[in-house]
């Protein structure tokens, strides 16, 4: 029972007080009536959904399989073995097997923390302007005519994946061809990103299992038979998953063929500087296509080369024929981004901008970047030497010839399963291993596992 609501009697003489007292008596009466009605019914009416409390509206949803790459880490984490080794996910590790935060990144972050003028306001839809400008210069070159003529529009995106998705959504809406050709094989997420964006995905020959190198003739034949105007995805350097790149002479042939067929290049640059240790050398393929005055797209990621995996820092650049077209393209990119994630995060882009703008920080970054690349190259040589020392059947020189974070070992899925079960070594089923996950201490264990797999499993 609620207590009766009333004003003190000593204050009820004025007309206003009498009206308030009458109102309060009315409310009290209504409350009592409601309570009586509820008492009569003995309970609150059941919720319309309570009858379905044991049946979820999502009961029909089936359990999805683990991502083939990220699922490797899930399985690895469940393994209690002290000798387990994760060579699945592409993330750099130190010689001690630990994640690395670059010293130059820590310095840049400290600068940002000490800057009391910095705020956490929203960025514009296209992101941090300085980051965009410096990112374009990094991949196209500071003296690029396309940049000097304002024919490039660059937008900050959510790392490489987000950059690819924004570019794909734009092409699906505004480009006359909706077919994109991707290399076979390619990064597992590529077909999903492009398909969900509304593009039709086809493949062109790229890797030759027999030579464990590039199937250059097959590549030229497939691109030569592609319909005029089709989009072609190209890995700028350090092809994932094979580690096989065309030579500069082969890149020039690819460029000539694509321009003659009016094929639109869409570069995925996830490893600039991380492959060879040189930022300029790793951008040569992209710059060749920009130098001829033609149009192209380039998706950049700073996950690997700055170790900013979790910051999700990337950029999409579209090189156009004229500055006027570039401005219109940017306006449409905003319409793609706004309903997708509205605007990008500020912290990671600020780190990148701080490093790229400062001569000393930039120089320090290139030194650390080369050290990472050199360590991976060293792991390639150590693994190849270890397999040769064991007399492991086959020619393992491809481990040294391939470049970047990954090596396509040539191991089949049965051999991969064997290595996981018997040696607790985790990798993707196609035999791709992350060289960055190796160390001098773990190379012998991996070599033993590969030797056993090759000699015991067909």
* Nearest Cα residue to 85 out of 94, 71, 97, 99: 97
Question: Cα(276)–Cα(274) distance, rounded to whole angstroms?
Answer: 6
Q: Give Rg (Cα) of the chain.
A: 30
The structure tokens listed for 194 are: 């492009």
The catalytically annotated residue of 222, 245, 268, 448 is 268
The structure tokens listed for 353 are: 């901008």
Instruction: Based on the residue annotation, tell me whether 365 is a catalytic residue of this protein.
Output: no
End-to-end CA distance of the chain: 82
The structure tokens listed for 212 are: 């464990």
Provide the CB-side half-sphere exposure for 128 (13 A, CA).
21
Instruction: Based on the residue annotation, tell me whether 79 is a catalytic residue of this protein.
Output: no
For residue 266, count CB atoms less than 10 angstroms from its CB and return exposed for 0-12, middle for 13-18, buried for 19 or more: buried
* Nearest Cα residue to 132 out of 155, 116, 165, 157: 155
Question: Cα(361)–Cα(350) distance, rounded to whole angstroms?
Answer: 13
The catalytically annotated residue of 107, 187, 245, 396 is 187
Instruction: Based on the residue annotation, tell me whether 358 is a catalytic residue of this protein.
Output: no
Provide the CB-side half-sphere exposure for 428 (13 A, CA).
22
* Nearest Cα residue to 306 out of 329, 272, 332, 336: 272
The catalytically annotated residue of 245, 282, 304, 365 is 304
Residues identified as active-site: 187, 268, 304
């Amino acid at each position: 029972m609620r207590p009766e609501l009333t004003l003190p009697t000593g204050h009820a003489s004025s007309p206003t007080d009498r009206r308030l007292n009458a109102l309060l008596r009315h409310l009290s009466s209504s409350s009592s009536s409601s309570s009586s009605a509820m008492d009569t019914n003995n309970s609150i009416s059941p919720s319309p959904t309570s009858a379905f409390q044991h049946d979820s509206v999502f009961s029909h949803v089936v359990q999805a399989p683990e991502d083939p790459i990220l699922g490797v880490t899930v399985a690895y984490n469940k393994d209690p073995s002290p000798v387990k080794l994760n060579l699945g996910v592409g993330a750099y590790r130190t010689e001690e097997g630990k994640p690395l935060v670059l010293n130059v990144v820590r310095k840049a972050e400290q600068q940002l923390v000490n800057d009391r003028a910095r705020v956490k306001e929203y960025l514009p839809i296209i992101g941090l302007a300085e980051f965009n400008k410096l990112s374009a210069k990094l991949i196209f070159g500071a003296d690029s005519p396309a940049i000097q003529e304002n024919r490039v529009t660059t937008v900050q995106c959510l790392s490489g994946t987000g950059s690819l998705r924004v570019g794909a959504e734009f092409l699906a809406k505004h480009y006359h061809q909706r077919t994109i050709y991707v290399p076979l094989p390619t990064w597992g997420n590529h077909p999903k990103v492009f398909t969900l964006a509304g593009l039709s995905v086809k493949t062109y020959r790229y890797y030759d299992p027999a030579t464990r190198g590039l199937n250059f003739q097959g590549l030229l034949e497939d691109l030569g038979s592609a319909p005029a105007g089709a989009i072609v995805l190209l890995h700028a350097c350090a092809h994932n998953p094979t580690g096989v790149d065309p030579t500069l002479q082969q890149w020039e042939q690819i460029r000539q063929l694509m321009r003659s067929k009016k094929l639109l290049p869409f570069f995925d640059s996830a490893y600039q500087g991380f492959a060879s240790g040189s930022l300029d050398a790793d951008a040569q393929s992209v710059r060749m296509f920009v130098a001829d005055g033609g149009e192209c797209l380039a998706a950049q990621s700073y996950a690997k080369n700055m170790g900013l995996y979790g910051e999700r820092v990337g950029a999409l650049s579209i090189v156009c024929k004229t500055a006027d077209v570039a401005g219109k393209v940017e306006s449409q990119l905003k319409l793609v981004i706004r309903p997708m994630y509205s605007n990008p995060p500020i912290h990671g882009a600020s780190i990148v901008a701080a490093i790229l703008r400062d001569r000393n920080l930039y120089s320090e970054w290139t030194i650390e970047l080369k050290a990472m690349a050199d360590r991976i190259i060293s792991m390639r040589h150590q693994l190849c030497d270890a397999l040769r020392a064991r007399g492991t059947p086959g020619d393992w020189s491809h481990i040294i010839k391939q470049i970047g974070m990954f090596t396509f070992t040539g191991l089949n899925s049965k051999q991969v399963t064997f290595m996981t079960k018997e040696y607790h070594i985790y990798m993707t089923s196609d035999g791709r291993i992350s060289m960055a996950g190796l160390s001098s201490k773990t190379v012998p264990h991996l070599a033993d596992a590969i030797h056993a797999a090759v000699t015991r499993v067909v």
